[in-house]
Structure 1
Amino acid sequence: MPYVERVTKAGKTIEVDRYYTSRYHKAGIKRGDKVRPTNEAQKKANTRKAERTLRLLLAENYQDGDLHIDFGYIRKKGEPYRTREEMRKDADVFLRELRKVYKQQGQELKYVHVMEVGEKGSRHHHLVVNYIDTRLIQAAWKKAYPQNSKIHFHPLDTNGDYSRLAAYLIKYTDKTVGTDEALQGKRWNCSKNLRRPEPEYRIIKDRNQYYTEPKPLKGYYIDQDSVRVGVHSEEFYGYGFLSYRMVRLE
């Protein structure tokens, strides 16, 4: 049974996963028979997979100076909350306005959008976008939703590692994903112009090499919080694995 190393480069990060596989051919990797996990274990595995996909997407498409936007509604006492359909319509109108603004600035809008219901029932949106003047973005939201509204801007980290942001956004989707209460059909929506990082695979023939301690490439450091090692049946089909993330040094 071969050992496989999957390396995914995204922006300033490189993610490495080493695991067993029961089958391999030239077109790529196929997994073997799956060990049936418990419902809770499967839910955790799905969350980890969603976080990985989103953080790679963010790392590949955004950089220092781009924006995480938190925008929502100021609800007067006694007013009903915005419904799921109303929130979707608000977001559609806002994104349509933003596309116009970005085009006027000679840019193309790149976005990731997540809708959220807060612990106390408040409704708001998260949007990750490439940078333009925040006053233009604020004006577009006011035009899309002219009633009482609020908007906050958070510049992205300089190191290009957006794992915490991805985990933060996915945490809220975990509450309702796959249920009738879900605000979106998917955990997030995004523009079609985002680049999707493609992994590279190689077979590890030397068993000792598989268990080698992770070492950063020159010009990178290893995010120690990202190092995971063990056996995970719901993710790697009952076999051992090692995964870690490297971040480019500034």
Structure 2
Amino acid sequence: MSKKSEKKYIRKIIEAGNTLEVINYISGRIGARGNGRGEGEQEGESEEKVQRWKWKRAEDKCRWLINQNFGPGDLWMRFGYPRGTRKTPAEIRDDVKKFLEKLRRMYRRAGKDLKYLYTVGIGSRGGIHFHAVFSAFDSEKIETLWQDIAGTEQVPYPSVNTRHLDRRGHYPSIAAYIIKNARQTFGTDRQIFGKRYCASRNLKPPKIRKVIVHAGHWLKKPKPKKGYYILQDSVRQDIGQNGFPYQSYTMVRLQI
């Protein structure tokens, strides 16, 4: 078989904490002819489809950051304002900025580094909620700090809910919830931050690498790497944004 006719595809591997996410796909430049568009795909994509892919990429990156930087004992928290509170995006940003500055000092006094990833949303009825992942700390102190900032004379202790991350080391539902929260205001006049989510600068990025696989197709039922298992509900077979098929799945390190 000549090099020109040799079949191949790209394997993208994202290593984030205890997880390995694998994406097998065909590129218009590798393994296929043409301009990268699938048969029957119209010239130019609809704005709806473009936005859908942007949100998907945002959720993927959010999940990778959480898996890479957070784990058992870290905190998944929801902060509320007193019912009926109405604030402008600028006022909410000021509250969050003040909260994080004081929280950073609190961590520092305890000899710890604050790591975080968060988003703020406004519900259809106007309720403001702030969702965040924090590195491990005394959750009662964090709760008290937020209530001192957001509380009012009538409601001095607005609600704060806390969960500790479990031992799975894989937190897709948290990333999905953060992105869902961001969609409530993103792109509207109620948008609070310029990003879909905000993260501290000390978060480590996942390790991402690509390899070219010289084969005509990938296994429909992928096999896990030694020491890992495949999350069966993570296996996807679909058509990518470029109109070509792709496969993706997640492997999680076995806990010994």
TM-score by length of 2: 0.85
User: How far apart are 1:133 and its partner, in Å?
Assistant: 1.0
The answer to whether structure 1 residue 86 and structure 2 residue 86 are counterparts is: no
The answer to whether structure 1 residue 15 and structure 2 residue 6 are counterparts is: no
Report if aligned partners of 1:60, 1:195 keep a CA contact under 8 Å in 2: yes
Identity of aligned residues (%): 35
The answer to whether structure 1 residue 190 and structure 2 residue 199 are counterparts is: yes
Change (3 A) 1:64 1:140: same
Please provide the CA RMSD for this pair: 1.9
Q: Which has the larger radius of gyration?
A: 2
The answer to whether structure 1 residue 127 and structure 2 residue 135 are counterparts is: no
Aligned residues: 236
Aligned to 2:4: none
The answer to whether structure 1 residue 151 and structure 2 residue 160 are counterparts is: yes
User: How far apart are 1:105 and its partner, in Å?
Assistant: 0.9
Aligned to 2:120: 115
TM-score by length of 1: 0.87
User: How far apart are 1:180 and its partner, in Å?
Assistant: 2.3
Letter in 2 for 1:7: I
Report if aligned partners of 1:97, 1:144 keep a CA contact under 8 Å in 2: no
Letter in 1 for 2:221: E
Determine the C-alpha separation between the residues in 2 that align with 1:165 and 1:126: 9
Task: Please state which structure has a larger fraction of its residues in strand.
Answer: 1
Report if aligned partners of 1:2, 1:21 keep a CA contact under 8 Å in 2: no
Letter in 2 for 1:8: I
Which of 187, 196, 205 aligns to 1:178? It is 187
Q: For 1:117-167, what per-residue CA distance to the aligned partner results, in whole angstroms no more than 9, with x for missing partners?
A: 123221121111001111221232234335232211111132011101111
Partner secondary structure for residue 234 of structure 2 = strand
Letter in 1 for 2:164: P
Which of 142, 149, 169 aligns to 2:147? It is 142
Deviates more, 1:154-163 or 1:137-146: 137-146
Q: For 1:224-246, what per-residue CA distance to the aligned partner results, in whole angstroms no more than 9, with x for missing partners?
A: 221111222x2xx1111010111
Report if aligned partners of 2:85, 2:127 keep a CA contact under 8 Å in 1: no
Report if aligned partners of 1:177, 1:187 keep a CA contact under 8 Å in 2: yes
User: How far apart are 1:41 and its partner, in Å?
Assistant: 2.0
Runs of 4+ that moved beyond 6 A: none
Letter in 1 for 2:68: E
The answer to whether structure 1 residue 46 and structure 2 residue 54 are counterparts is: yes
Determine the C-alpha separation between the residues in 2 that align with 1:227 and 1:130: 30
Aligned to 1:72: 80
**Any stretches of 5+ residues in structure 1 without a counterpart?**
25-31
Letter in 2 for 1:49: R
Determine the C-alpha separation between the residues in 2 that align with 1:132 and 1:175: 29
Letter in 1 for 2:107: Y
